[in-house]
Amino acid sequence: MNISVVGTGYVGLVTGVSLAEIGHHVICIDIDEAKVEQMKQGISPIYEPGLDELMSRNIEAGRLTFTTNHKEGFHLADVIYIAVGTPEKVDGSANLVFIEQAARDIAKYIMKDIIVVTKSTVPVGTNDRILEIIEDNQIHNVQIDIVANPEFLREGSALMDSFNGDRIVIGANNVYEASIIEKINEPFGLPIYHTDIRSAELIKYASNAFLATKISFINEIAAICERVGANVEHVAKGMGMDKRIGGEFLNAGIGYGGSCFPKDTKALIQIAGNVAYDFELLKGVVNVNQKQRTLLVDKLNERFATLVDKRIAVLGLAFKPNTDDMREAASIIITERLIEKGAIVIAYDPVAMENARGILHADILYANSVQETLHDADAALVLTEWDEIRNADPTVFHSMKNPIVFDGRNCFSVDVMREGGVEYWSVGR
Ligand SMILES: NC(=O)c1ccc[n+]([C@@H]2O[C@H](COP(=O)([O-])OP(=O)(O)OC[C@H]3O[C@@H](n4cnc5c(N)ncnc54)[C@H](O)[C@@H]3O)[C@@H](O)[C@H]2O)c1
Ligand SMILES: O=c1ccn([C@@H]2O[C@H](COP(=O)(O)OP(=O)(O)O[C@H]3O[C@H](CO)[C@@H](O)[C@H](O)[C@H]3O)[C@@H](O)[C@H]2O)c(=O)[nH]1
C-alpha cells in the first residue's frame, strides 16, 4: 500500500517507520525543512531508542522517503495519515490549526480516491470537521473517506509499543474503509477494535485521562502514607495485585508531565464542558498533579531555612526517561521556583540538555555527569529516573557539601540510602 504521513513528530515519524518496516511504501511530509533534510539522511530529529536504525534500514530498502512538498507527498498515496500536533490552547482546549491546515493541504493536492486516517489526538467531532474541510476545498472530484485511528505509543518506548501495543482502534463510518485500515495493520499482529468515529476519538482521551487519574490517585495515597507512616510502594503493590486494579501506573512521584497527559486531561474537561457536563473527577486529577509538581520545592523549604545561594543539583530534566522531550516536564516549574528563591541550580540530563537549554531559565548551570552535578551541592533533586541515575551508588552523593537527596521518582531504596549515609527524602515512603 502507498501511504503518506503528514507531520513527522514523535507519532508521525514512528508511524511512518513502523508502516515501512511491515512492508508498505511510505512517504513522510513535514513543513520543517531542517527536519526533513536530517531524516533524508537517516537521522532522527528526536531521541527514541532504535529509531535511527529502523529509519536507515527502510530508507535503504526504498520503502521510506521524506519531503516538504505536499503535492509530491500525496501523488501516489492510497491512504493519508494525519499526525500533526494538537497542542493546548490557553483555555485548555485542543488547538486544531495544524489539523485544519493539513486538511486544506489534502484538499488542494489529492487527485484520486483516498482514505484519510487521523492519528493525532483530536476532540470528538474533529474527524467530521476534517472531512468537511477537505470536501469543501477539494479541487478534483474524488471520493474521500475518513477513519479515526488514535495512537497509544509512549515516548521512550515508541517502537516497542507500535509492534507490541495492546490494541489498534479503528473508528469508521463504513465497513469498507475500516477493512482497508485493518489490512494495512494486519502484519503488526495486534488485537484490532472496530468502532464508530466518535467513540474512537473519545477512547483516546478517556484512556489518557484514566491513566492520569491512576497517577494522581496514588500521589494522594502517597501524601497520606507520609502522614500515617505507611509506604506507598507497598500499598501500590498490594493494590495492583488485584487484577481489576492492575499494578501499572501506580508509581508515586512528582506527577505526570509530557506532551499528552497534561494537555489531554484539560482538553477532555473542555470537551465535557462544551456539552454542559462538569467533569469534576478529572478537574481533581489535574489539580492534584499541579500540586505534585512542586512537592520537592516544598520539602526543600521545610528542610532549609532559606534557599538563597544554596547550590541545588538537579538530576534529570526530561519528563520521563529515554526521551529528550521537555514538553511539560516537572523540571521546568521546579527549576524556575528554585531560581526565584535565590538558589544556584546546576542540572544534568543524559540526553535532554540541549532541548532544556532553550526552555529553562538562563541562569541554570549545566554539568556533564551525575558526579559533576553533585560536587559541592547543598542538596540534590532527582526529577527523572534515568538508569544512569537510579543505578548510582549512594557513595556518589558523598561529594556533596552534605549528602541530602530529595527523590521525586522513588529511584532508591530507603534502607540502602540510609545505610549509605545519605539523608534521603522520597515520596510517600
Ligand atoms: N508524542 C506522543 O507520544 C503521542 C502519542 C500518542 C498521540 N499523540 C498525538 O499525536 C499528535 C502528534 O503529536 P507529536 O508529539 O508527534 O507532535 P509533534 O509536535 O512532535 O510533531 C508534529 C509535526 O507536524 C508537523 N506539521 C505541522 N503542520 C504540518 C502540515 N500542515 N504539514 C506537514 N507537517 C506539519 C510539524 O512540523 C511537526 O514536525 C498529537 O495530536 C498528539 O496528541 C502523541
Ligand atoms: O506510574 C506512573 C507512570 C507515569 N508517570 C508519569 O506520567 C507521565 C507520562 O508517562 P508515560 O505515559 O509513560 O509517557 P507518554 O509518552 O506521555 O505516554 C502517554 O501519553 C501518550 C500520548 O497520548 C499515550 O499514547 C500513551 O499511551 C500514554 O502512556 C511521565 O511524566 C511519567 O513520569 C508517573 O508519574 N507515574
Q: How confident is the model at residue 243 (pLDDT cuts 50, 70, 90)?
A: very high
Gap from CA of 173 to ligand 1 centroid (Å): 25
User: Angle at which helices 330-340 and 295-303 pack, to 10 degrees?
Assistant: 30
Q: Is 411 a catalytic residue?
A: no
Task: Establish whether 107 is an annotated binding residue.
Answer: no
Which residues lie below 8 Å from residue 409, measured CB to CB, with a gap of 6+?
251, 253, 254, 316, 382, 383, 384, 385, 390, 427
CA nearest 426: which of 291, 248, 279, 251? 251
pLDDT at 382: 98
Which residues lie below 8 Å from residue 221, measured CB to CB, with a gap of 6+?
232, 235, 236, 252, 428
pLDDT at 160: 97
Ligand 1 atom 26, closest CA: 7
Considering the domain 294-425 in this protein, what is its CATH number? Answer: 3.40.50.720
Q: Are 86 and 95 in contact (CB under 8 A)?
A: yes
Give whole-number Cα distances, 260 to 32, 70, 241, in Å: 22, 27, 27
DSSP symbol at 312: E
Average pLDDT for residues 285-298, to the nearest whole number? Answer: 97
Residue with cell 537527596: 405
Which residues lie below 8 Å from residue 81, measured CB to CB, with a gap of 6+?
3, 4, 5, 6, 12, 15, 16, 117, 118, 119, 149
Q: Which of 167, 214, 217, 320 to mutate to test the pocket of ligand 2 (most atoms within 8 A of CB)?
A: 320
Gap from CA of 265 to ligand 2 centroid (Å): 12
CA nearest 205: which of 195, 213, 216? 213
Ligand 2 atom 32, closest CA: 256
Choices 1.10.1040.10, 1.20.1250.20, 1.20.120.1200, 3.20.20.70: CATH for 204-292 = 1.10.1040.10
pLDDT at 12: 98
Task: Establish whether 263 is an annotated binding residue.
Answer: yes
Q: Which of 215, 220, 288 to mutate to test the pocket of ligand 2 (most atoms within 8 A of CB)?
A: 215
Gap from CA of 294 to ligand 2 centroid (Å): 18
- How far apart CA 154 and CA 156 sit, in angstroms, is 6
Percent of the chain with pLDDT over 90: 100
Q: How confident is the model at residue 156 (pLDDT cuts 50, 70, 90)?
A: very high
Q: Are 150 and 119 in contact (CB under 8 A)?
A: yes
Ligand 2 atom 4, closest CA: 249
Comparing 2-195 with 294-425, is the CATH topology the same? yes
**Grid coordinates of 154:** 509512549
Gap from CA of 378 to ligand 2 centroid (Å): 31
Mean pLDDT of the chain: 97
Locate the ligand 1 atom nearest the alpha carbon of residue 154 and give its number. Answer: 3
CATH topology assigned to domain 2-195: Rossmann fold (3.40.50)
Average pLDDT for residues 107-123, to the nearest whole number? Answer: 97
Q: How is the chain split into domains, by residue range?
A: 2-195, 204-292, 294-425
